[in-house]
Amino acid sequence: MFNNGQLFDTVALNGRLTEVIGSNRFYVGDAILLTTEQTTMVTDIIIDDSYFNTSPGSAEANLSSEWKFHQCNDPDNLKGFCSCDLTEKAWTQNCRPWRNLLDFAWNTSYSGEAVFTPTISVPGDYTIYEWHGNLVNQTMGTNVKYTINYSGQNQEVTVNQQQDQGQWNYLGIYNLSTGTNNNVTISAQGSDGFVIADAIRFVYQGNHGSIKGPPGSYTPKILIADFNCDNQINIIDFGILLSHWRKSSDNPQVRNTKRGQCTEAKNLDITQDAQQGVDEKDLAKLLSCWGSPSQEQENCWAEAGNPDNNG
pLDDT at 96: 47
127 three-state secondary structure:
strand
Residues 276, 267: Cα–Cα separation, whole Å: 14
More confident residue, 260 or 237: 237
**How large is the C-alpha radius of gyration of the chain?**
23
Pairing of strands 105-107, 124-131: unpaired
Same domain? For 49 and 198 the reply is: yes
Q: Which residues pair with 221 in a beta bridge?
A: 303
Mean pLDDT, the chain, rounded, equals 77
Q: Does residue 61 form part of some domain?
A: yes
| Residue 193 CA: distances (Å) to CA of 171, 229, 303, 306, 307 | 20, 41, 32, 37, 40
Same domain? For 176 and 282 the reply is: no
> Residues 6 or more apart from 80 whose CB is under 8 A from it?
71, 74
More confident residue, 262 or 254: 262
CB 119, CB 180: distance < 8 Å: yes
Same domain? For 184 and 236 the reply is: no
Segments forming the whole domain that contains residue 279 = 221-310
Residues 298, 286: Cα–Cα separation, whole Å: 13
Same domain? For 55 and 195 the reply is: yes
Same domain? For 249 and 162 the reply is: no
Q: Which residue, among 101, 104, 74, 109, has the nearest Cα to 91 in the 3D structure?
A: 104
In this model, does residue 147 exceed pLDDT 90? Answer: yes
Stretch among 93-97, 119-123, 215-219, 235-239 having the lowest mean pLDDT: 215-219
Q: Does residue 160 form part of some domain?
A: yes
More confident residue, 261 or 190: 190
Residues 95, 100: Cα–Cα separation, whole Å: 11
For residues 120-137, give the mean pLDDT: 88
Q: Which residues pair with 126 in a beta bridge?
A: 174, 204
Same domain? For 55 and 153 the reply is: yes
> Residues 6 or more apart from 107 whose CB is under 8 A from it?
66, 67, 68, 114, 188, 191, 194, 195, 196, 197
More confident residue, 2 or 32: 32
Same domain? For 259 and 168 the reply is: no
Same domain? For 71 and 186 the reply is: yes
Residue type, 184: V
In this model, does residue 142 exceed pLDDT 90? Answer: yes
For residues 125-148, give the mean pLDDT: 91
For residues 8-25, give the mean pLDDT: 78
In this model, does residue 309 exceed pLDDT 50? Answer: no
Same domain? For 194 and 107 the reply is: yes
pLDDT at 6: 72
Residues 166, 60: Cα–Cα separation, whole Å: 19
Instruction: State the pTM of this model.
Output: 0.62
Predicted confidence band at 217 (pLDDT cuts at 50, 70, 90)? Answer: very low
Predicted confidence band at 101 (pLDDT cuts at 50, 70, 90)? Answer: low
Question: In total, how many domains does the chain have?
Answer: 2
Residue 215 CB neighbours (<10 A): 8
Q: Does residue 213 form part of some domain?
A: no
